[in-house]
Amino acid sequence: MTTKTVSDSNSTRIESRDQLIATFAKGEKPPERWRIGTEHEKFVYRTADHRAPSYDEPGGIRDLLLALTEFGWTPVEENGRVIALAGADGSVSLEPAGQFELSGAPLETLHQTCAETGRHLEQVKAVGDRLGLGFLGLGMWPDKTRAELPRMPKGRYKIMLDHMPRVGTMGLDMMLRTCTIQVNLDYSSEADMAKKFRVGLALQPLATALFANSPFTEGRPNGMLSYRSHIWSDTDPHRTGMLPFVFEDGFGYERYCDYALDVPMYFVYRDGRYLDAAGLSFRDFLRGELAILPGEKPRIEDWTDHLSTAFPEVRLKSFLEMRGADGGPWNRICALPALWVGLLYDQGALDAAWDLVRHWSLDERQTLRDAVPAQGLDAPIPGGGRLRDIAGEVLDIAHAGLKARARGNFAGEDETGFLDPLREVVRSGKTHAERMLDRYHGVWGGDVSRVYPEESF
The CATH code of the domain that includes 156 is 3.30.590.20
SS (H, E, C) the chain: CCCCCCCCCCCCECCCHHHHHHHHHCCECCHHHCCEEEEEEEEEEECCCCCCCCCCCCCCHHHHHHHHHHHCCEEEEECCEEEEEEECCEEEEECCCCCEEEECCCECCHHHHHHHHHHHHHHHHHHHHHHCEEEECCCECCCCCHHHCCCCCCHHHHHHHHHHHHHCCCHHHHHHHECEEEEEECECCHHHHHHHHHHHHHHHHHHHHHCCCECEECCEECCCCEHHHHHHHHCCCCCEECCHHHHCCCCCHHHHHHHHHHCCCCEEEECCEEEECCCCCHHHHHCCCCCCCCCCCCEHHHHHHHHCCCEECEEECCCEEEEEEECCCHHHHHHHHHHHHHHHCCHHHHHHHHHHHCCCCHHHHHHHHHHHHHHHHHCECCCCCECHHHHHHHHHHHHHHHHHHCCCCCCCCCCHHHHHHHHHHHHHCCCHHHHHHHHHHCCCCCCHHHHHHHHEC
Q: Contact at 8 Å (CB) between 88 and 75?
A: no
221 found inside a domain: yes
Q: What's the CA gap between 83 and 93, in Å, rounded?
A: 7
Q: Which residues, other chains included, contact 276 with Cβ-Cβ below 8 Å and sequence gap of 6+?
A: 159, 162, 267, 292
Q: Residue 10: pLDDT band by 50, 70, 90 thresholds?
A: low
394 found inside a domain: yes
Model confidence over 199-231: pLDDT tens digits? 999 999 999 999 999 999 999 999 999 999 999
Q: What's the CA gap between 99 and 161, in Å, rounded?
A: 15
pLDDT at 410: 92
Question: What mean pLDDT is reported for the chain?
Answer: 96
Q: Contact at 8 Å (CB) between 87 and 74?
A: yes
Q: How far apart are the first and last CA of the chain?
A: 22
For residue 4, pLDDT over 90 is answered with no
- Percent of the chain's residues with pLDDT above 70: 98
Segment 154-168 shows an average pLDDT of 97
Q: Residue 12: pLDDT band by 50, 70, 90 thresholds?
A: confident
pLDDT at 11: 76
> Chain centroid to CA 150: how far?
21
For residue 113, pLDDT over 70 is answered with yes
Closest CA to 321 of 192, 186, 418, 140: 186
- Give 420's strand partners: none
Q: Residue 2: pLDDT band by 50, 70, 90 thresholds?
A: very low
| Full residue range of the structural domain in which residue 432 is found | 17-263+310-455
Segment 156-185 shows an average pLDDT of 98
For residue 56, pLDDT over 90 is answered with yes
283 found inside a domain: no
275 found inside a domain: no
Gyration radius from the chain CA atoms: 21
Q: Contact at 8 Å (CB) between 137 and 327?
A: yes
Segment 343-352 shows an average pLDDT of 98
Q: What's the CA gap between 315 and 19, in Å, rounded?
A: 19
pLDDT at 1: 44
Q: What's the CA gap between 36 and 185, in Å, rounded?
A: 6
284 found inside a domain: no
329 found inside a domain: yes
For residue 46, pLDDT over 50 is answered with yes
Q: What's the CA gap between 276 and 62, in Å, rounded?
A: 25
Q: What is the largest CA-CA distance in the chain?
A: 64
Three-point CA angle 293, 294, 296, nearest 5°: 70
pTM confidence score: 0.96
Segment 61-85 shows an average pLDDT of 98
pLDDT at 238: 96
Segment 358-375 shows an average pLDDT of 98
For residue 71, pLDDT over 90 is answered with yes
For residue 336, pLDDT over 70 is answered with yes
Burial of 6 (0-12, 13-18, 19+ CB in 10 A): exposed
Q: Residue 7: pLDDT band by 50, 70, 90 thresholds?
A: very low
Segment 314-339 shows an average pLDDT of 97
- Give 269's strand partners: 274
Domain count, the chain: 1
272 found inside a domain: no
Model confidence over 74-85: pLDDT tens digits? 999 999 999 999
- Percent of the chain's residues with pLDDT above 90: 97
273 found inside a domain: no
Q: Which residues, other chains included, contact 451 with Cβ-Cβ below 8 Å and sequence gap of 6+?
A: 136, 138, 142, 216, 436
For residue 433, pLDDT over 70 is answered with yes
Q: What's the CA gap between 391 and 359, in Å, rounded?
A: 17
Q: Contact at 8 Å (CB) between 426 and 392?
A: yes
Q: What's the CA gap between 73 and 123, in Å, rounded?
A: 11
Sequence length of the chain is 457
Q: What's the CA gap between 344 and 128, in Å, rounded?
A: 36
Q: Contact at 8 Å (CB) between 42 and 327?
A: yes
Q: Contact at 8 Å (CB) between 41 and 327?
A: yes
